[in-house]
Chains A and B, each alone.
Chain A
């Protein structure tokens, strides 16, 4: 149960799509950066356009042990 890849380097304006390949629901949540996918069911997809600069750590709100980082170049 994890984000793959856990670290992703992107440039501002890039579109990132998360796909839930698990059968339990997950979310992409970064409170400070105001990123919130809502609950994603099995096979649901969610796309976010990267903005800002620096590292954005995020987690699954439902499974806080799942963590990832978006690195904005």
Chain B
């Protein structure tokens, strides 16, 4: 055994495994898309009923409308392609995070609620954008599925910008008190 040559092979193995990709399959991606949208719809519904701030309520309604529209489109595409959404670790992790956020929001009210909701929306949309760029688009095999995700991306970016703007406004108002 010549260790001088054996060693680089050991180091190479993980890199190859990564390059081949252990990303989610198309049925898993379909499940992730639907789950990610549903989580934000659920949070939006809570915000719409609990927030007293008109801007926060309008943002929440936008989340319900837009993510609902994306899910309708995703559902129609999955049906057309004959893809059956398949549960997976990323979906499970998203659901867990969504449930934690919902539980936290239910405990809060007033300005503290608005801040927690909007802060989470900023972080969530940033995380979704990262997932779109680093995981979902590179992993999607079907061109139409990839196209759908690419078409959704600008909406997520707009939501992130809107949420950040709202975060700034809430911060300013809090500073006045």
A7 CB–B CB distance under 8 Å: no
> Closest residue of chain A to B55, judged by CB?
A64
Say whether A23 contacts B70, CB under 8 Å: yes
| Chain B interface category by residue count | 10 to 19
Contacts of B154 in A (CB 8 A): 1-2
Main secondary structure of the interface of B (DSSP, over half): helix
20 CB contacts below 8 A, A to B, read A1-B155, A22-B155, A23-B69, A23-B72, A23-B73, A23-B151, A24-B66, A24-B69, A24-B155, A25-B65, A25-B66, A25-B69, A62-B62, A62-B65, A62-B66, A63-B155, A63-B158, A63-B162, A64-B165, A65-B165
Contacts of A66 in B (CB 8 A): 158
Restricting to A1-45, which residues have a CB under 8 Å from any CB of B? 1-2, 22-25, 42
CB distance from A31 to the nearest CB of B (A): 14
| Chain A interface category by residue count | 10 to 19
Seen from chain B, the residues whose Cβ lies within 8 Å of a Cβ on chain A are 62, 65-66, 69-70, 72-73, 151, 154-155, 157-158, 161-162, 165
CB distance from A71 to the nearest CB of B (A): 24
5 nearest CB pairs, A to B: A1-B154, A24-B66, A1-B158, A65-B161, A24-B69
The residue among A1, A22, A25, A42 with the most chain B CB atoms within 10 A of its own CB is A1
What is the CA–CA distance of A1 and B66 in the complex, to the nearest angstrom? 12
Seen from chain A, the residues whose Cβ lies within 8 Å of a Cβ on chain B are 1-2, 22-25, 42, 62-66
What is the CA–CA distance of A66 and B70 in the complex, to the nearest angstrom? 18
What is the CA–CA distance of A65 and B154 in the complex, to the nearest angstrom? 11
Contacts of A63 in B (CB 8 A): 62, 155, 158, 162
CB distance from B166 to the nearest CB of A (A): 10
CB distance from B169 to the nearest CB of A (A): 11
Say whether A24 contacts B162, CB under 8 Å: no
Contacts of B62 in A (CB 8 A): 62-63
CB distance from A64 to the nearest CB of B (A): 6
> Closest residue of chain B to A61, judged by CB?
B58
